[in-house]
A = this chain, B = another copy of it.
Amino acid sequence: MAGREQKKSGGGGKKKEVKKETGLGLSFTKDENFGEWYSEVVVNGEMIEYYDISGCYILRPWAISIWENMQTFFDAEIKKMKVKNCYFPLFVSPGVLQKEKDHVEGFAPEVAWVTKSGESDLEVPIAIRPTSETVMYPYYSKWIRGHRDLPLKLNQWCNVVRWEFSHPTPFIRSREFLWQEGHTAFSTKEEADTEVLQILELYRRIYEEFLAIPVIKGRKSELEKFAGGLYTTSVEAFIPNTGRGIQGATSHCLGQNFAKMFEINFENEKGEKAMVWQNSWAYSTRTIGVMVMVHGDDKGLVLPPKVAAVQVIVIPVPYKDADTQGIFDACVATVATLTEAGILAEADLRDNYSPGWKYSDWEMKGVPLRIEIGPRDLANNQVRAVRRDNGAKTDISRVFLVEQVKGMLDKIQQNLFDVAKQKRDACVEVVKTWEEFVTALGQKKMILAPWCDEEDVEKDVKARTKGEMGAAKSLCTPFEQPELPEGTKCFASGKPAKKWTYWGRSY
């Protein structure tokens, strides 16, 4: 309605100017210049605005709504698991930060330090959390006394800061990012082991069910595990265009390393002093970047329906001499019907843009389904639905609107996953020798290879593949292991192989 009123006051002559200035369309294609395409699509899709401090980005509502959708799911799931939310301070004192040696070595180069307030120097510099193990665990030591205090399961939704110097990329590698970090303590290793996998399954669901991205569950190598932890599991995604793996989220078993350093002891049921077993697990706004990279195309973002803030955009197509009022009313009614049914629908009634311009605009923003209503649709009591994922057009009777739209959104969600899986699978290459490995790496593959699981061998692979594109490393050892015939040799060392492991370049 507002749109119609504006029509009267808005001058027709302004249309072209506005159109030009907005600069619809992308200057780069996904296949030809992936990096520039990505930077452009996150900005033009209104997810990101570049900020005046390098490596920091503004997350606009279009990105935050996706974050909130995932958050609603995950937060409810962990609450079912009796995890409770809390909030620990942003700041860490240096003494505590340095308590776990391996851990601090992993993070120290990236820690941002506050040294001044107002005009005064602080007595002691204070670190900003890169992650909160050292922030939290001194208090776990205080709170945990007896076996009845266990398990202790806390989570926080917060920002963390890692002042990285390698190439910053929106969502994927930024100096500040949002995440959740869960920190749990148990009496037994068995309980900790079980939770590691329960959480990992939630991460898989976020990627596969919400973001429609296939991931591989597996275990990180000794070299790639969390600094200070016992072992790390992860869900690994893959970006076919760049041929790089990307760690999607991690669920760590910390073992008793931190418990030892922070003296997190308890009296067990037999009255003996024991040390807790701990986990920590996190996923971050990186998830959104992976989604953009996997699904986006040369028209812009492509959002899976399950995370989109707007699932259906309804656009009036009023040809000249048509019943414009009737068409606008039908758009408003369509949105009302869909909204009533729990579908996130909006009408674009702006009168200073042509329907074609609006199509491009909402394609850029990745809205899963477009509904067009023109004079013929009005006459036939139907709407035209156009899928963002494959461009397919369908006329839908308004009588069956809700069920048809619901069905299409489900299909889009599934199709995005299927296509992404097909593309990812096409990149997987099984190799058995170093020569095959090098060839596959050159072809940007995600390489599954038999490995002896020795740290020195992984270091050696890194050293031998160093170059402009970055070295190859292990991505994960998948839990689903193909058969490993006796006598199979490690692709890199020639020693007896112990497992199949994914390798490749990565983010």
A182-219 vs B: 1/0 string, CB under 8 Å?
00000000000000000000000000000000000000
Q: Is the CB of B108 within 8 A of A87?
A: no
Given A49-B139, A115-B113, also A159-B68 (CB < 8 A): no
B125–A116 touching, CB < 8 Å: yes
Q: Which of A34-42, A89-97, A314-322, A493-501 contacts B (4 or more CB under 8 A)?
A: A89-97
Residue of B nearest to A146 (CB): B18
For the complex, is A163 an interface residue (Cβ under 8 Å from B)?
yes
Segment from A50-58, A291-299, A356-364, A367-375 that makes contact with B = A50-58
C-alpha spacing A128/B269, complex, angstroms? 47
| Min distance, Cβ A379 to any Cβ of chain B, angstroms | 31
The CA-CA distance from A109 to B146 in the complex, in Å, is 45
- Which of chain B's residues have a CB closer than 8 A to the CB of A93? 52-53
Q: State which residues 6-37 of A face B: CB under 8 Å.
A: 6, 9-11, 14, 18, 21
B113 touches A87 (CB 8 A): no
Size of the A side of the interface (Cβ < 8 Å), in residues, is 65
Query: Which of B9, B49, B119, B128 sits near A142, CB closer than 8 Å?
Result: B49
How many copies of this chain?
A: 2
Stretch at the interface among A59-67, A235-243, A467-475: A59-67
With an 8 A cutoff between CB atoms, is A401 at the interface? Answer: no
**A487 part of interface (Cβ distance < 8 Å):** no
Interchain CB contact under 8 A, A112 and B116: yes
In the assembled complex, the CB of A204 is this many whole angstroms from the nearest CB of chain B, namely: 25
Instruction: Contact check, A176 vs B90: say whether CB atoms are below 8 A apart.
Output: yes
Contacts A56-B91, A91-B176 supplied; 10 other A-B pairs, CB < 8 Å: A14-B271, A52-B96, A61-B85, A89-B176, A90-B159, A117-B163, A118-B163, A148-B350, A158-B159, A159-B159
Task: Show 23 A/B contacts (Cβ-Cβ < 8 Å), sorted by A.
Answer: A18-B146, A51-B88, A53-B93, A56-B89, A56-B90, A58-B86, A58-B88, A58-B89, A60-B86, A61-B84, A61-B154, A65-B84, A68-B85, A90-B159, A110-B118, A111-B117, A111-B118, A112-B116, A114-B115, A117-B163, A118-B163, A148-B352, A158-B159
